[in-house]
Amino acid sequence: MDLPQVSVHPLVLLSIVDHYRRVVSANTTNTSKRVVGVLLGQWLGGGQVSLTNSYALPFEENPNDPTVWFLDHNYHETMAELFKKVNAKERVVGWYHSGPRLRASDLLINQVFRRYCHAKPPILLIADPHQREALCAYQAVEEILEDGTAHQRTWAHLPLRLEAEEAEEIGVEHLLRDVAEGEALMPRGSAAERLVGQREGLRAMAAGLSEMCEYLGRVEKGEMPPSPTILKQLQELVNGLPLPQPELTHALTLAANDHLAAVWTGSLIRSVIALHTLIDNKLKEQ
């Protein structure tokens, strides 16, 4: 049996990571919970399948009993019909979960998706958000037992590669740049750690301001000679502060009021014209 080659597009990976982050943020007590969703794409010639899109599914399971799990079939069928209206070429080709490994219930869940894959064996994609390059594709196959009398299903590892069109590459580059800039500005750690960091930062800033005030006071009293370098740096700090300017605030307020008055007058005229047109139509009907 020839195994298909799987190509994964960036939108699939971004959707899986977003799905996992949303579930983890909503369930802070159980960060090991895995997520399950549907893979959309096309079966191409030459035994290739292209995964171009995905969507999340409501999924629950019992971690102590792999045979107890719940998958919302109605939600899946509704979402599949909606995605089909948006792009008729994309069909259900498999499903995904956040791993990090195969589980005992995966074969049972895979049997459910066989009904939606149009006589094609469903593809299972495992993406572990906690590790880099932790991406695996599988397909359920039948193997004959040693006695040759029975068949059992097992997982076959599929060759996988990442594929992106030019527009997808540009979008991913912009997204990664925005994410990198956001992480550089975003405080890390838990809420308690962030509060401690902010407190230490405010304490350091207060100490710096006290030292600046002490220095300026001693310079004013003639106890220390003035330093042009230090005074220049202090002047740059003061220039960067949002100093109150009543005249500028008054001018901006007048400009905003003039603009809003023009908008209000235009809306009033449009309402009067609409009412006049309505009255003329009623008179013509009579």
Give pLDDT tens digits for 200-232. Answer: 888 888 888 888 888 889 888 988 888 888 888
Residue 277: pLDDT above 90?
no
- Ranking 41-45, 136-140, 167-171 by mean pLDDT, the lowest is 167-171
What are the distances in angstroms from CA 281 to CA 95, 112, 271, 276? Answer: 58, 60, 15, 9
Rounded to the nearest 10°, the torsion over CA 198, 201, 203, 208 is -160
Distance CA 117, CA 94 (A): 7
Distance CA 94, CA 109 (A): 11
Provide the whole-model pTM.
0.59
Average pLDDT over residues 146-153: 65
CB 3 within 8 A of CB 139: yes
The confidence score (pLDDT) of residue 57 equals 93
- Ranking 22-36, 73-87, 162-176, 186-200 by mean pLDDT, the lowest is 186-200
CB 160 within 8 A of CB 137: yes
CB atoms within 10 A of CB 12: 23
Percentage of the chain modeled with pLDDT above 70: 83
Distance CA 46, CA 203 (A): 66
DSSP string, 1-18: -PPPEEEE-HHHHHHHHH
- Please report how the helices 10-26 and 166-185 are oriented relative to each other, as an axis angle in degrees rounded to 10: 30
Average pLDDT over residues 182-207: 67
Ranges in the chain annotated CATH 3.40.140.10: 5-183
> Coil, strand, or helix at residue 129?
coil
Give pLDDT tens digits for 115-131. Answer: 888 778 899 999 887 77
CATH class of 5-183: alpha beta
> Coil, strand, or helix at residue 66?
strand
The confidence score (pLDDT) of residue 212 equals 86
Q: How would residue 185 be classed by pLDDT, with cut points 50, 70 and 90? A: very low
Average pLDDT, the chain: 82
Residue 250: pLDDT above 70?
yes
Contacts 24+ apart (CB under 8 A), 243-252: none
Average pLDDT over residues 67-84: 90
